[in-house]
Amino acid sequence: MKNNKSTVSGKFIVFVGFISFTFAALFFLLSEFLARTINSIILSFLFLIIIILLGILADIVGTSVAAASEAPFHAKASKRIPGAREGVFLIRNADRVANITNDVIGDIAGTVSGALGIALVIQIMSIREDLNRFVLNMIITACIAAFTVGGKAYGKKIALSRPNDVIFFVGRVIAAFSGITGIKLVKK
């Protein structure tokens, strides 16, 4: 049975704001560092693709957790299948999980991908000064937007057609992480 009650409190909202600020600053510093030290258009472009994919995957998880059903996870948890208990936890905290994945990770990925796009334009302009900066900036921004929006649209199709499979996969990843590191991300 789905839990329709919100678990978001004022304390959680402040926490999410703090985490958003911290992640945005860290991603900005990382992207600035990479843009200045790599000096490779290919590696900068690859990093940009990774950030966009991270935003798309986060959106898939956030949408899936809101659409998933808890009952199949209870059946798997009773058989002690790794990832099932984690799936129940994710679904019971769907509003928090969706907020962190869609809003925190997804929005930060969007912001950082825009900053990386600008850095990419600067790198390209340093090599090819004859290019029109305005047109190049427009093309790269449009490509980033198209890839992000198109990827998220396709991701929503996956998330809404197979939400339990997505959440079970995420649950298995969390269970594997906990098993390897000993860090428990999910409460009983």
For the cut 50, the answer to whether the pLDDT of residue 100 exceeds it is yes
Judge whether 14 lies within some domain: yes
pLDDT tens-place string over residues 112-162: 888 888 888 888 888 888 888 899 999 999 999 999 999 999 999 999 999
Structure tokens at 29: 């510093």
Indicate the pLDDT class of residue 1, thresholds 50, 70 and 90. very low
Judge whether 51 lies within some domain: yes
**Tally of domains in the chain:** 1
pLDDT tens-place string over residues 38-54: 677 888 888 889 999 99
pLDDT recorded at residue 188: 63
Judge whether 180 lies within some domain: no
Judge whether 142 lies within some domain: yes
Judge whether 106 lies within some domain: yes
pLDDT recorded at residue 176: 92
Taken in order 72, 73, 77, 78, is the CA torsion positive or negative?
A: negative
pLDDT recorded at residue 19: 83
Assess contact for 112 and 28: CB atoms under 8 A. Answer: yes
For the cut 70, the answer to whether the pLDDT of residue 76 exceeds it is yes
Residue 152 makes CB contacts below 8 A (sequence gap 6+) with 55, 56, 59
pLDDT recorded at residue 18: 86
CA nearest to 25, candidates 87, 92, 115: 115
Give the pTM. 0.83
Judge whether 64 lies within some domain: yes
pLDDT tens-place string over residues 16-32: 788 888 887 887 787 67
Judge whether 186 lies within some domain: no
Assess contact for 48 and 150: CB atoms under 8 A. Answer: no
Judge whether 28 lies within some domain: yes
> Which residues constitute the domain of residue 109?
10-68+96-161
For the cut 70, the answer to whether the pLDDT of residue 7 exceeds it is no
Residue 97 makes CB contacts below 8 A (sequence gap 6+) with 61, 62, 65, 90
